[in-house]
C-alpha cells in the first residue's frame, strides 16, 4: 500500500518536534512538507525549529515552508513559559543549515491540495490553525480535496490549559479554528481530554534516553524540560505529550476511542474565548462535524513512539 500523504502544520515546541520525528520515522506516511506558524514561539523560531528537527532526523529532503506570523484577527499569544525561550529548550542542537523554501506556507497548502488527487492528502495541524484557515479563505475549492484534518487542539472534560476555558492552540486563533470546523472537511480533534491520558513517566523518558542515539537523547532532554511545567501545574507524575498523538492516530487508530460530535469554538466570550464546545452528549441538535477523541492506550502509544524513534 502506498504511504499516506500528509502535510504537517506546526509551531515547534518540544511535543511538536517529537510528532515530526514520529512521522519521519514511519514508512506508512509520506511527509510532503512542513508548514510553520507562530504559536508556541514566534514564527522565526518555529521555522528554525522545524529545520532543526529535520536535520536531527537526517531528513533534509523534507521541505519547510514559512507561514503566518500572527493570528487572523488577534495579537499573538506565545508559550515560552512552557517551552523555553527557543521552543526547543532541553536539548543542545546546532542551528540548521538546510534552507527554508521561498514559497509561503499558505501558497504551498493551496498548490499542493490542488495538484494532488482529491482525497489523497491529510493535513496534520499541531499548532494554531491560522495557515489552514487562511488557505481555505483564499481558496475554498481546496476544502473538498482534503482527505482529513487531524488537529491537536481543544478540550472539553479537561477544560483549558491557557485560560480556565480554552486550550492553547484554539485560544491563540479561535477564528481560524472556527473556520476550519465550519469548512465541511472530515476532521479529527486530539484534545486535552486524550493527551492528558498519555503522560510521560520517568520510565518512558529513560526509555527514550536508552536508545543511545542523538534522537533518543534529544527527545529525553525535551521531555525532561517540557514536563517540569506540567508536573508543577497539574500535580501529576508526568506531562502530556500532546502532538505526537496526532501522528499516532494515523498510524494506529485502534489505540484510541472517541465520538463523532458537533464541535463549535467560542469567539466572543468574555471568560470563554477559545473554548471548545463539544456536544459530547448530543444535546444541541447540531450536526456532528468532528471525531472528538477521548481515550487512548497510553502504554501502546509509548511503545509505538519509542519503537519508531529507534529507527532514526
d(CA 215, CA 223): 12
Beta strands 187-190 and 290-296 are: parallel
Mean pLDDT of the chain: 96
pLDDT of 243-290, one tens digit each?
999 999 999 999 999 999 999 999 999 999 999 999 999 999 999 999
Q: What is the pLDDT of residue 230?
A: 63
Structural element, H or E, at residue 171: helix 168-172
Q: Give 4-309's CATH code, choosing from 3.40.50.150, 3.90.245.10, 3.40.50.300, 3.10.450.710.
A: 3.90.245.10
The pTM score is: 0.97
Check residue 226 and give its pLDDT: 79
To the query of whether residue 242 is one of the catalytic residues in this protein, the response is: yes
> H/E element holding 33?
strand 29-36
Torsion sign, CA atoms 95, 231, 20, 23: positive
Q: Give the residue ranges of the chain where pLDDT is below 50.
A: none
CA-CA distances (angstroms) from residue 47 to 40, 164, 260? 12, 30, 34
Find the catalytic residue in 81, 242, 260, 282: 242
Residue 237's pLDDT is 76
pLDDT tens digit string along 139-150?
999 999 999 999
The rounded radius of gyration (Å) of the Cα atoms in the chain is 18
Q: Is the CB of residue 202 less than 8 Å from the CB of residue 155? A: no
Residue 238 has what pLDDT?
A: 81
Instruction: Give the whole-angstrom CA distance, residue 257 versus residue 295.
Output: 5
Amino acid at each position: 500500500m502506498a504511504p499516506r500523504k500528509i502535510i504537517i502544520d506546526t509551531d515547534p515546541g518540544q511535543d511538536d518536534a517529537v510528532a515530526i520525528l514520529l512521522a519521519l520515522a514511519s514508512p506508512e506516511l509520506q511527509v510532503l512538507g512542513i508548514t510553520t506558524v507562530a504559536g508556541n514561539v514566534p514564527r522565526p523560531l518555529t521555522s528554525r525549529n522545524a529545520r532543526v528537527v529535520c536535520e536531527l532526523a537526517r531528513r533534509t529532503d523534507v521541505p519547510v515552508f514559512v507561514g503566518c506570523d500572527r493570528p487572523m484577527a488577534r495579537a499573538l499569544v506565545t508559550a515560552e513559559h512552557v517551552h523555553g525561550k527557543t521552543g526547543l529548550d532541553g536539548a543542545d542542537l546546532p542551528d540548521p543549515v538546510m534552507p527554508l523554501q521561498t514559497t509561503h506556507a499558505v501558497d504551498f497548502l493551496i498548490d499542493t491540495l490542488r495538484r494532488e488527487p482529491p482525497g489523497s492528502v491529510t493535513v496534520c495541524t499541531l499548532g494554531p490553525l491560522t495557515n489552514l484557515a487562511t488557505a481555505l479563505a483564499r481558496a475554498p475549492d481546496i476544502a473538498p480535496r482534503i482527505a482529513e484534518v487531524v488537529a491537536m487542539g481543544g478540550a472539553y472534560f479537561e477544560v483549558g490549559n491557557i485560560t480556565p476555558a480554552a486550550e492553547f492552540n484554539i485560544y491563540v486563533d479561535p477564528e481560524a479554528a472556527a473556520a476550519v470546523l465550519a469548512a465541511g472537511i472530515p476532521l479529527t480533534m486530539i484534545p486535552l481530554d486524550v493527551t492528558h491520558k498519555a503522560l510521560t513517566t520517568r520510565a518512558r523518558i529513560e526509555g527514550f534516553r536508552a536508545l543511545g542515539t542523538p534522537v533518543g537523547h534529544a527527545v529525553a532532554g525535551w521531555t525532561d524540560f517540557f514536563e517540569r511545567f506540567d508536573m508543577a501545574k497539574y500535580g501529576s507524575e508526568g506531562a502530556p505529550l500532546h502532538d505526537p498523538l496526532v501522528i499516532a492516530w494515523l498510524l494506529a487508530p485502534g489505540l484510541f476511542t472517541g465520538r463523532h460530535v458537533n464541535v463549535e469554538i467560542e469567539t466572543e466570550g468574555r471568560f470563554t474565548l477559545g473554548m471548545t464546545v463539544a456536544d459530547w452528549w448530543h444535546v444541541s441538535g447540531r450536526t456532528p462535524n468532528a471525531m472528538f477523541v477521548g481515550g487512548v492506550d497510553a502504554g501502546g502509544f509509548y511503545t509505538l513512539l519509542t519503537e519508531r524513534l529507534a529507527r532514526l
